[in-house]
Homo-oligomer: A and B are copies of this chain.
């Protein structure tokens, strides 16, 4: 069953990521490396949301993530919800969870940190999950949500 409308509005198999803050959409795309995915993807952004003001949604055909991978987006979209779709039916719902350790996604806010001066990947321990606070493995400085910059 091929139908142009279906292609852009529903997926047969895959993952729907909903409740992304609109401002975080391109960060999510970058964290999940969606520029490189060759399956069908639809994005919608600046959609009205009671919870988030403006939200974005991403629908990925034939694409599934392992928890470790998807949890990275919790840094920028802590309220994101995943629907796993099979045969047009939601077979599983998931929430994202900020992982305990973050490797190489965020930038350390300390300009003197070795990761900002040499070719060393960043590494953080998550010291607060609710309002994300990351403690740098190298310089031990805290990078908070406000200063969070995705590499």
Number of interface residues of A (CB under 8 A): 21
Q: Could you tell me if A54 and B42 are in contact, using CB atoms closer than 8 angstroms?
A: no
A23 to chain B, nearest CB (A): 9
Q: Is A5 an interface residue (CB 8 A)?
A: yes
| Chain A positions 1 through 42: 1 when the CB is less than 8 Å from some CB of chain B, otherwise 0 | 000010111000000000000100010010000010111111
In the complex, A8 Cα to B55 Cα: how many Å?
13
Q: Could you tell me if B41 and A35 are in contact, using CB atoms closer than 8 angstroms?
A: no
Q: Which of B7, B22, B26, B57 contacts A44 (CB 8 A)?
A: B7
Q: Could you tell me if A37 and B41 are in contact, using CB atoms closer than 8 angstroms?
A: no
Q: Could you tell me if B54 and A46 are in contact, using CB atoms closer than 8 angstroms?
A: no
